[in-house]
Amino acid sequence: MDGSALSNNTATATLSHVLDAADLAEFDAFMCAAPFGAYQQTRAWATVAPRHARRGWRFFVCRVGGDIVGAAVVRTTRLAVGAWLATVQRGPVVHDPAMLPLVLHHLRDSLKRAGCCSVQSAPRVRGRPLPIMAEAMRAAGFVPLPPHQQSLHHATGIVWLDKPEAEILAGFKQRARRAIRAADKAGITVRAVTNERDMDEYQALLDRFAVERSDYDMTGQADARGQAALVDACGGAMLLAEREGVAVGAHAFVRQGDEAIWLSLVTLDRDGASPGYPLLWHAMRAAAALGCVGYDLAGLPQGEPRDAGEAGRVQFKTAFAPHRRIMLPMQQLVLQPVQHTLLLGAREAYRRLRRSGALHG
């Protein structure tokens, strides 16, 4: 490998730009089988995520006795004077929560040896392991980022799918059931994306939605073909809603362990019948058929909605009566204090000026 390596008794760790051919299948299998895996922690995401001139990717693997016990897809961001920042979205990934302290130790040392300035991280975890993994992060020196620097949601809604369809539907609020019936009455149908023409329709809907809904940040979202690659790699589906043969909505979800999570949903609502409701209901049924026990609605605000756009999205998602889930927020560990203070401090000051309107262009 072209990265750094270190050992501690039978534990070893590597950080590299490219995985060896022998490691590819093992890495993918580990990520796919992880109970708290995430699509951001797959090699597919590193391939399809939006490109940026200063960003790259590295792959971290921690082994004990030759077996992988922890791994991470690390996004790198180049700063000034050769320094760089690491971001581990929804990772590192472990199968056994008890291994997280060891994995964090080696991740920290590997990144520091490679010249990393600081790392931001938050494993995807729920249920009983949550306090165990939260304490491991705290003990390793990670500190939660302030709210305005949180790049990912850490509260979401889960619709449970481990029951008959009639029970799932009955669990929705009345407005969701009414909207599904209204869409059916209006002639809105939902089908899977099956060919290149469908993919072009999906991308056109994404592009139009981005123009019409400038309040909704889509900069971190893969394009239609990128989402298709994620679905191919992890499982899931891409759907189109049509009315009188015209595409009026699109939705994609991807599998994460025993759950599904929405990737994108865009709609062109007309005449009071929203395609969003049948799209999401169809997706939940498809996810249940794949064996998923829950459907992650990809974020809910922890407080009051910040604007009318977010309020509308919250109203839509809560119509499905989701179970609320709290996850670990993104946290930061400083590895090079002087570089971090100078470079990250300057970058944050610049961003504050941008937000305040003091800078233009």
Least confident segment among 2-6, 73-77, 263-267: 2-6
pLDDT of residue 38: 95
321 with 334, same domain: the answer is: no
State the residue for tokens 């997706």: 283
232 with 88, same domain: the answer is: no
266 with 347, same domain: the answer is: no
- To the question of pTM greater than 0.85 for the whole model, the response is yes
Sheet holding 246-256, edge to edge: 188-192, 236-243, 246-256, 259-267, 294-296, 155-160, 323-326
289 with 333, same domain: the answer is: no
- The rounded percent of the chain whose pLDDT value lies above 90 is 71
**Is 134 a domain residue?**
yes
CATH code of the domain containing 119? 3.40.630.30
31 with 107, same domain: the answer is: yes
**Is 361 a domain residue?**
no
165 with 292, same domain: the answer is: yes
**Is 59 a domain residue?**
yes
**Is 132 a domain residue?**
yes
Of residues 31, 3, 26, the one with CA closest to residue 109: 3
285 with 349, same domain: the answer is: no
Q: Is 216 exposed, middle or buried (0-12, 13-18, 19+ CB in 10 A)?
A: middle
170 with 319, same domain: the answer is: yes
The b-or-e profile of 271-307 (16+ CB within 10 A means b, else e) is: eebbbbbbbbbbbbebbbeeebebbbbbbbeeeeeee
pLDDT of residue 7: 47
The torsion angles phi and psi of 179, rounded to 5 degrees, stand at -70, -35
126 with 163, same domain: the answer is: no
State whether the Cα torsion 114-119-124-125 is positive or negative. Answer: positive
pLDDT of residue 252: 98
Number of compact structural domains in the chain: 2
The 10s digit of each residue's pLDDT in 331-346 is 999 998 877 677 666 5
For residue 347, pLDDT over 80 is answered with no
166 with 310, same domain: the answer is: yes
Least confident segment among 5-14, 119-128, 139-148, 181-190: 5-14
**Is 316 a domain residue?**
yes
Question: What domain range is 292 assigned to?
Answer: 155-326
The b-or-e profile of 37-60 (16+ CB within 10 A means b, else e) is: bbbbbbbbbbebbeeeeeeeebbb
What is the pLDDT of the chain when averaged over all its residues?
Answer: 89
115 with 66, same domain: the answer is: yes
- The whole-number average pLDDT for the span 113-124 is 95
